[in-house]
Structure 1
Amino acid sequence: MTKWLQRPQNETPLPLWNEDVPFLEAGDDANLPRLTPFFADTEDVASAIVIYPGGGYAMRADHEGAPIARWLNTLGIHAFVADYRVAPYRHPVPMLDGQRAIRYVRYHADAWGVDKARIGVLGFSAGGHLAATVSTHFDDGATTQADAIDGVSSRPDLSVLCYAVISLHEHRHKGSVENLLGANPDPALLDDLSNERQITAATPPAFLWHTADDEAVAVANSLMYAAELGKRSIPFDLHVYEHGVHGLGLATQDPHVGSWTKTCAAWLRVRKFC
């Protein structure tokens, strides 16, 4: 491709901040938050999706990152895998990294051939919690910021939530809560980050899928989020599969659950993302 000469090289990580990384421990270069681009093979201005792999806020699962980006590329969607910080970093660090990833893509949209009005998020498990968090905690950007990227909106235009952690109260995933908030979390933070409680009319549309017998993250998480979207007439697709272990990713080894990618692609077309 020659049209978008300012695009960075595919699969080469980019630092989300060049300096003054918020909350970064001195000398902790190993945990610099980064964004890895996977540009689709198109000259046209296209949609983009930021991916948050899961891992209980303790790690980031490889199979929920690059393989997902390459699948989105087949749909003509640009994809960006976010290396957001995890434990020992705690809230608000993952949320700030997640928001910054959206701002970063939107800030560079004109130079990269991205439609700044079609930037979504996709997350698995705890990464799904992060995707739901940035979908319910966002702002239009601060024009007074010295960093121009922070002046850009962090609101995603849609979310794809895959066996996502949603609530930090009922049906919580204990490991995610402890890694994100510590062993004795502030009740106010548990409320604020139980994303089914934070949905408003401004929350973007969502595609959700889960397996009914997920023993790690209860399907009730997706059901609660969908129910609250429905109460506010926010468009959503919800798909619950009868059987499947947690953490399937693309689920290529399971013909039934693996159909989620085809179903999600159809929904993304409805939302005019591809």
Structure 2
Amino acid sequence: MRLLIFFILIFYSIPNMVNAQQRIYLYADSENNIIKNGFDTVKPYMEYYPATNHIANNQRTAILICPGGGFRYLAWEKEGVKPAKFFNSNGIDVFVLHYRVNDELLRGHEYPAQYNDANQALNYIYNHADSFHIQKNRIGIMGFSAGGHLAATISTLNPLNAGTITPSFTILLYPVITMESPYAHAGSKKMLLGEAPNADLIKHLSAEKNISPNTPPAIIIQAGDDKTVPVQNSIMYYEQLLTNHIPAALFIYDHGKHGFGMAENDSWLSQWPHEVINWLKSNHFL
């Protein structure tokens, strides 16, 4: 009887074991100057959310999600876990990035800490693609708000820098794109660049300035009534993609404001995740 109970418990625990989240730390314990004592509580990591419905084994698509939060905190559940579970249900593996942030007193981390964290994560996924059964040409990056700036920075700077991995596609939700006036998000700019950044750094981290013919295709989604991050951020990125003949889609909803996440309570706005799936399929990423 005890043996029977044991096998029953094992049987019912297998699905939970398969779909359990795996925390992957991005830096070795021996690496110094990654965290600041008294500010950080944990080293940068990502959580792996395996798909619950794989479309084709050994040909999986993966997305690295960068939650928003103005580079002060991470909207982990709203802009990380919830979209991860949606994409999981559509056969996509997801990694949610816990990158380094700052605070109003600037005691935390400025650029390039966040950029380095995203690159560490992207490199890990790429280098372990075979063990995850992920196709290396189907690894994309996604970002919300300030996380959108991180995703856009990776997507625009990496093609220009030898030795870095360029994502295959980019998904941007109400993204911070520019660091230049008048459309920069002041809070994100301060957290990322400090109180008085020089002009070269501002230009370097204005993603619309760095789009090239090698920038990956992108789908961009925002609400026209966003009073936090002006919708011109999305429009500028989209226009530069078109100028460089890069496949791009832009959805501007007439309502939603900033930070709508999955928009579960809005029957129209909540269709955006399905539009992303359709876009991925039409571009042969899924």
1:68 maps to a residue whose letter is P
Instruction: Give yes or no for the alignment of 1:56 onto 2:70.
Output: yes
Residue 229 of structure 1 corresponds to 241
Residue 12 of structure 2 corresponds to none
Residue 13 of structure 2 corresponds to none
For 1:129-208, what aligned pairs fall within 5 Å after superposition?
129-138=149-158, 153-170=164-181, 171-208=183-220
SS in 1 for 2:256: coil
Residue 40 of structure 1 corresponds to 51
- Identity between Structure 1 and Structure 2 (%): 36
2:166 maps to a residue whose letter is R
How many angstroms does 1:20 deviate by?
Answer: 4.3
Structure 1 CA distance, aligned partners of 2:29 and 2:99? 16
Instruction: Give yes or no for the alignment of 1:16 onto 2:16.
Output: no
Instruction: Give yes or no for the alignment of 1:83 onto 2:98.
Output: yes
Residue 92 of structure 1 corresponds to 112
CA gap 1:102/1:161 in 2 versus in 1, 3 angstroms: same
**Maintained 8 Å contact 2:159/2:215:** no
How many angstroms does 1:23 deviate by?
Answer: 3.6
Counterpart selection for 1:269 from 242, 262, 281: 281
Structure 2 CA distance, aligned partners of 1:29 and 1:217? 27
**Maintained 8 Å contact 1:212/1:240:** yes
How many angstroms does 1:271 deviate by?
Answer: 2.0
Gaps spanning 5+ residues in structure 2: where? 1-16, 103-107
CA gap 1:26/1:208 in 2 versus in 1, 3 angstroms: closer
CA gap 1:55/1:26 in 2 versus in 1, 3 angstroms: closer
**Maintained 8 Å contact 1:56/1:126:** yes
How many angstroms does 1:12 deviate by?
Answer: 2.6
1:93 maps to a residue whose letter is A
Residue 109 of structure 1 corresponds to 129
User: Structure 1, residues 128-168: CA drift from partner, whole Å, max 9, x if none?
Assistant: 000000001116997xxxxxxxx6x4210000000000001
Gaps spanning 5+ residues in structure 1: where? 1-6, 143-150
**Maintained 8 Å contact 2:110/2:191:** yes
**Maintained 8 Å contact 1:54/1:125:** yes
Structure 1 CA distance, aligned partners of 2:41 and 2:235? 37
Structure 1 CA distance, aligned partners of 2:244 and 2:57? 34
Kindly report the root-mean-square deviation, in angstroms, between the aligned alpha carbons of the 2 structures. 2.0
2:62 maps to a residue whose letter is A
Structure 2 CA distance, aligned partners of 1:81 and 1:270? 24
2:21 maps to a residue whose letter is E
Bigger mean CA deviation after superposition, 42-51 or 119-128? 42-51
Structure 2 CA distance, aligned partners of 1:226 and 1:235? 9
Structure 2 CA distance, aligned partners of 1:104 and 1:141? 18
How many angstroms does 1:9 deviate by?
Answer: 7.0
Structure 2 CA distance, aligned partners of 1:237 and 1:129? 17
2:92 maps to a residue whose letter is I
4+ aligned runs moved over 6 Å, structure 1:
none
SS in 1 for 2:22: coil
